[in-house]
Amino acid sequence: MNGPVEKTHLKALSRAGLEAWVTGLGEKPYRARQLWKWLVPRGASSFSEMTDLSREFRARLEAAAEIRSLRRVSADRSGDGGAVKFLWECPDGNRIESVFIPEADRRTVCVSSQVGCGLGCAFCATGRLGFSRNLESWEILDQVIGVRRETGEAPTNIVVMGMGEPFLNYDAVMDALAVMNDPEGLAIGHRKITVSTSGVIPGLLRFTEENRPYKLAVSLNAVTDVLRTRIMPVNRKYPIAALMEAVRAYSRAPGRRVTFEYVLFAGLNDSREDAARLLALLRGLPCKVNLIPYNPAVGGFQRPDEGRVERFLEWIKPLRSPVIVRWSRGADIGAACGQLAGSGPERVDPPPMESEAPDISLRSDLARRRGARSQEAAVSRKASSAETGGAGSRKPGKRTGGGAS
């Protein structure tokens, strides 16, 4: 006796793969283009939405294929400016998180690349979870499609900085980014996509050799091997000198400027000596530095006060590279840097699974907050127009999404 026929998981197919599958059904290639448009740019989650496909073709699709999607479990809104942390459930029951950060001039999604993470950074809630599995490329992409569906807003920027180390899931991450960047996909410009690594050198070298067009961020966080190994065990395998050599190789091509993330921990890596070492390490390198005052998560570290952050900023002024203080948004919902771990207060109840209706309250609330922030930004720009620029921004500076690496 024959068992049930396994249906084709359409979102797991590339654009070329989808075309081959559709033509294999005896359909014309333009049918595949129509289907792709529904699955990716329009983010359809059922065949019934695909109203420009003939009834007959839709029936064939229903019989032979399926559309799997991440299920939204919850959406937590932060009270400090509109970041939204999404908790998703994968078809196998694993749960991952993404963060949506709407600002006046951009809408960023911070996506996860793995379920948990095996690198165990001492300050990171994700690291405490341990590693479960790599995400498939469609699961990485579907976070962005899901955020767009839930918020009604098209993301403009992507940071792969959520749960997991992207260079340890290299192929799936690059496949997902290719679709995000594809003009026929999500059409997000390659300069608006950033991959953030904790310093996994083989991945960084491959990223360089393959001349990937996306921006690169390196989570540095310490300037001595002793301290970096203590807070980021990956440093034992890939110590600072080797990491910096790989970063310099990456930076040799014109137009490449790496961003260094430096989480500031009070009394641990924020001394004058640390600043001097950081200057020495980055001297002559085309780079940007993001200083991120630590967001309480795990490990018993302390967040430096504003005075300490300002002092550190002053000490690294001779760097002559852009330095930005990122007071991460979403700390109150566990969506700030290093906090993603699948929990948070004030969950928003998900809509019924069978409903295709958008979450109007979430959408309208985001629109209202963005409107209010645009006004605030205009007022603050006016007020500060006479001020001269320092080495970095003052609070509130630009901010990161959820993530980690």
Q: Which residues bind ligand SF4 (CB under 6 A)?
A: 117, 119-121, 124, 126-127, 163-165, 198, 338, 404-405
Closer residue to ligand SF4 (CB): 108 or 339 = 339
Shortest reach from residue 12's CB to ligand SF4, in Å = 25
Letter string b/e over residues 312-351, b meaning 16 or more CB atoms within 10 A of that residue's CB: bbebbeebebebbbbbbbbbbbbbbbbbbbbbbeeebebb
Query: Toward ligand SF4, which CB reaches closer, 124 or 313?
Result: 124
Nearest approach, Cβ of 123 to ligand SF4 (angstroms)?
7
What letter would DSSP give residue 105? S
Torsion of CA 134, 100, 151, 171, to 10 degrees: -30
Catalytic residue among 19, 27, 90, 97: 97
Least separation in angstroms between CB 405 and ligand SF4: 3
Q: Which DSSP string corresponds to 110-138?
A: E---EEE-SS--TT-HHHHH-EEEEPPHH
Which CB atom, from 32 or from 204, has the smaller least distance to ligand SF4? 204
Closest approach of Cβ 261 to ligand SF4, in Å?
9
Secondary structure percentages of the chain, helix, strand, coil, to 5: 40, 15, 45
- DSSP for 351-403? PPTT-----HHHHHHHHHHHHHHHHHHHHHHHHHTTSPP-SSPPSS-----S-
Assess whether 110 carries a catalytic annotation: no
**Cis, peptide link before residue 345, omega less than 30° from 0:** no
To the nearest whole angstrom, how small is the minimum distance from the Cβ of residue 291 to ligand SF4?
16
Quick one: 121 or 216, whose CB is closer to ligand SF4?
121
Supply the Cα-derived Rg of the chain in whole angstroms. 22
Its sign, for the CA torsion 342, 104, 185, 10, is positive
119 vs 243 by CB, closer to ligand SF4: 119
Q: Shortest distance, CB of residue 234 to ligand SF4, whole angstroms?
A: 7
- Residue 392 makes CB contacts below 8 A (sequence gap 6+) with 289, 291, 313, 322, 323, 324, 325
Given 110, 121, 124, 337, the catalytic residue: 337
**Nearest CB to ligand SF4, comparing residues 304 and 402:** 402
337 assigned to active site = yes
Instruction: Enumerate the active-site residues.
Output: 97, 337
